Structure 1
Amino acid sequence: MPGLRFGLPVLAAALLLAALTEALVIAPTEAAMGDIQRIFYFHVAAAWAAFLAFFIVFAASVAYLRTKATRWDVVAVSAAETGVVFVSVALVSGSIWARSTWGTWWTWDPRLTTTFLLWLIYVSYLVMRSMVEEGPRRATFAAVFGIIAFLDVPIAFMSIRWWRTMHPTVLTGSGFSVEPAMLPALFLSLAAFSAFLLHLILLRSALERSRQEVTELRRRIGWMEERRS
C-alpha cells in the first residue's frame, strides 16, 4: 500500500502531463469548433472519472451491507466526495464548451439534465451523512442511499442514445466518433483522470480513517473522565 500511495500520484502526474501535451499541442484542431474543442478531452475524462467514482460508491455500499465492515463505508464516502468534485468539473467544462458551440451556458438537454441530477443526488448523499449521527445507523442509511443513487449513472450515460439530444456522442455502435488523430489525447486523459481519481480516494480514505480514530479516542477520553467524576 505505501508503494501504491507513492506510485499512483506519480503515475497520475505523468499521465496528466502527457495528456495536456497531446491535447493542447499535438492533437489536430477541430475544423468546425476550433481550439475550444480541446476542452472536450478533459470534459469527457472528468465525466468518466465521476461515473467511476459513483460505481465505487455503489460497490462499497453493497460490500458494507454484506459485511458491516467500517472500511467499506470509508471507501464509499471518500469516493462520493471525490465523484462530486469530478462531476462538478464535467458540468463546468461542459458549460464552457456549450457557450462557444451552442451559444448558451446551459440548456436542459437530456445529458446535461441527468448529469446535473447526478450532482444533486450525490450532494444530497453527503448532506444526509452530515445530518445523521456517526455510527452503524448512518453507515447503513448511506449504503442504501449509495446503491439507489447509482441508478442515475446508467441513465446519464445512455441519455444521448435514448432521447433526442444536442450533446455529441463519443462512442457509437461502430466505434469512436472522433478523428483517429484525436484518440491518443482522449485515451491519455481518461487514464490520467482515472489514476488521479484513485489517488484522491485513497488519500481521502486515509484522512477519514484518521478522523474516525481521533473521534473514537476523544469518546474514550470523555468516558474515562466521566467515570472519574
Structure 2
Amino acid sequence: MREALERDLTRITERFLEMVSLVREQLGLATAGLVEQDVARAEEAVHLDEKVDALDLEIENEVLAAIARHQPVAGDLRFLATVLKALTDLERAGDYAAHVAEDALALAGEPPLKKYIVLAEMAERIETMFNLLAKAIAERDLSAAERVLKIDDDVDDLYEQIVRELLTYMLEDPRTLSKALTLMRVARSYERLGDHLENIAERVFFWLTGRLDGAGDEG
C-alpha cells in the first residue's frame, strides 16, 4: 500500500515540476518577445498557455485521485494539499506570462520607448524564483523556498523603480502615454507573477515544516 502511494507521490511531483518548467519556458519566450521584439516567440508564449491550463487540470485530477485512493495523512497529505493550492498560483503565473507576450506583440514593430533593462532584470529574478521553487520541491529544500520569498522583495522594488521611470516619461512627453501605459502593464504582470511564485514558496514552507509562519495573504 505504501509503495503505491509513493509511486503516486513521485508521479505528481514530476508532473508538477513539469508544469513549473513549462511556465518558466513561457515566461522566457514572452520576455524574449518583448526585449528582442521577437513576434514568433511572443506568439509561442501565448499559445503555451493552453498547454499550461490542460496540465493544471490533469495534475489536479491526479491529486484528487491519490487522496481518494490512499487517504494519506500528515506530511503526505500536506504535500498533496500544497500541490492542489499551488496549481492555482502556477496557472495564474502562466496567465501573466501570456499577458506579457500579448503586450510584447502590441509593441512589436514600434521603436522602443526605452531599453528594457529593468523589465529584463525583473524577468531574470523571476526565472531564479522558478529555479529555486523546483529545487525546493524536488529536494525538499526549505532554504530554497525561503530564498524565493526574499527575491520577490527585489522584484517588488524593481517594479516600483520602473513605474517611477515610466511616470516621468509620461509627464515629460504626453506622446509616450500609450506606450508607457503598456509597459507599466507589463511590469505589473511581472510583479504579480512573482507574487504567485511567492505564494507557492509559502505553501512549500508549510508542507516542509507544518507551520504557517511563512504564509501570506497574496492571491
Bigger RCO (CA 8 Å, 6+ sep): 1
Q: State the TM-score bracket (shorter-chain normalisation).
A: 0.3 to 0.5
So what's the TM-score if we normalise by structure 2? 0.35
Q: Higher helix share goes to which structure?
A: 2
Q: Which one has a bigger Cα radius of gyration?
A: 1
